[in-house]
Amino acid sequence: MLEEDFQRNLEVLKANYASKLKEKVQELFSIEEKLFNTDYGDEALKELYIAAHRISGSSGMHGYTEVSEKAGMLEELLYPIVKNFDRNPTIDKNQIYSLLCKLIRVIGKEF
């Protein structure tokens, strides 16, 4: 009985988080637009790093392992960039775009 209640509660939490993932996709699209189509590159990279960090942690906690892994890969790529803006880091926008697309695609599979 207790185990069943626990499992049911976990499923409710996971379903609630899935609905929030839809919002995360919209946020990622918005950041992508800023990153690739405006002059807000540095600020957009910081926003993308923060979003990837949050998605990586929260999705893993809610059982979305693949989403967490893809977000973590993007976070790892962006970390040295956002921490070294003052040193003019090398930015490979193609690699960033590729990982961002993979993250959006894997989130899309969840709903």
38 secondary structure, DSSP code: S
2-108 placed in CATH 3.30.70.3280: no
- Residue 81 in tokens: 């960039």
* Angle (CA) 15 22 14, round 5°: 15
Q: pLDDT tens digits, the chain, 111 residues: what are they?
A: 778 988 898 889 888 998 899 899 999 999 999 988 877 778 899 999 999 999 999 999 998 999 999 999 999 999 998 988 767 777 888 999 999 999 999 999 877
pTM of the model: 0.86
Residues 93, 1 contacting (CB under 8 angstroms) = no
Residues 60, 76 contacting (CB under 8 angstroms) = no
Residues 55, 67 contacting (CB under 8 angstroms) = yes
